[in-house]
Structure 1
């Protein structure tokens, strides 16, 4: 039986350097990807904070609107009749139109 050839110390050192360089490159790529994900997470957290602040403002506005409605009801105002008034209907239609995307708004010919 013949013994398998033994690699020289120089060959082993070169192989170790090659593997080390490959591992360092993989580590650097992983760290870069992690940095990108951390930046995306920070951006997402900022967006969540902004949305939460908007939600607080909307809830406060809704609470104010509820108080106003209760006051009008207690004052005996017929809200159904009020909503049928032509000026109120025009304002509501304008509000709906303003909330539509511009691509859906029909333009009148000039």
Structure 2
């Protein structure tokens, strides 16, 4: 099932801007899962653009984190999908500043994400 954080404003005018977004995944079943991540950014010079497309296998009973540089972008969105209906994967995203500190308002837990019908890059 695919999820989206929605667009998250990322400017210093509204507080601290994030330089990196972390995507965390925790597989609580014994079955391996394929995780697909799409990170979109909006900069001052470009409209919404796919910046990162990543996929990885997450072993059963394990967790992993991936990080993506978003510094300098005025907004970003993370779309996530778990490919395997037999798994139960818990997802979250966290924005951190250039010093590694969590940025207020840039934490999105799975229950706060919007369920979408498909990832934006799906044909």
TM-score (norm 2): 0.14
Structure ranking higher in strand proportion: 2
Higher RCO structure, 1 or 2 (CA under 8 Å, sep 6+)? 2
Higher Rg of the two aligned structures? 1
